[in-house]
Amino acid sequence: MFGDRVKFWVTMNQPNLLAKFAYMNGWFPPGHCSKPYGNCAFGNSSIEPYIVGHNMILSHANAVSIYRNNYQETQGGYIGIAVAARWYEPLRNTTVDQLAVERAISFNVPWFLDPIILGDYPAEMRKILGPTLPEFTLKQKKKLHATKLDFIGLNHYSTWYLKDCIFSSCEMDPMDGDARALSLAERDGVPIGKQTGAPFFYDVPHGMEKVVMYYKQRYNNTPTYITENGYAQASNSSMTAKDFTGDTERIDYISGYLTYLVSAMRKGADVRGYFVWSILDDFEWTSG
């Protein structure tokens, strides 16, 4: 219906977040989880997220196959997938925290893009999860190989410090606990960046260049779009229209991130576009 006008297609948006939010933490429908990640009526946080992720990857491959075989040649479009791309810095300049960063990265974007682009899950995931992580059949691997991405979509907002939880005791981290790591916004009481209106996002513009350059190297400089990046403005009932429109912090945030994105492009990253999220106020998943 829209193929004559729409030339860029994303099969899924942030499936790596949805799998965790809905089947590990139980924050989103259908609200599945188990201890220590949560206390839901149903679910198994150690198994279900990876089954769900596996099926998402296979459904992505099916969608790409259908588009390639039936529409792409006549419509002249492109197809890819958009993933949430968190970035991390080691909490301490130690080997264990640096290894924790590598694990957390593997459990983030590469969880989905490694099978799609490289043919299988990251070795770090396989080492930690063992047989819990599903296997791709030979037929499925062939299909993944035959349905390569035209582009990668990266949704990037913030960077976190990361602490190792294999050799150190940690509280349970609902986002990075499966990588045996703990993400933190502060080091020695100093925030990693200025907090935005969204309490889980901080203004850390250099993370944009690092995340883009990392995936440039990992995925052979596949054409990339920043499919989401933007600033959440804090609000309260006493704010006036002037307060809302005088959003200089949003300007500073976007300017900083674009500066580092341009730096990555000058270093050879094949970035084709950038989208601000969002042009209007929105209802953010389960929180208005």
48 included as an active-site residue = no
Residue 182: DSSP 8-state: E
E strands along the chain, which residues?
8-13, 78-84, 87-90, 151-155, 159-164, 181-184, 186-187, 190-191, 194-195, 202-203, 224-229, 271-276
First and final C-alpha spacing in the chain:
31
State the Cα–Cα distance between residues 220 and 204, nearest whole angstrom: 25
Structural tokens at position 107: 């459990």
Query: What residue type is assigned to position 59 of the chain?
Result: S
C-beta separation of 111 from 42 below 8 A: no
Select which of 48, 89, 209, 228 is catalytic: 228
Closest to 180 measured CA to CA, from 221, 225, 125: 125
Report H helices in 114-154: 123-129, 138-146
Return the active site residues: 228
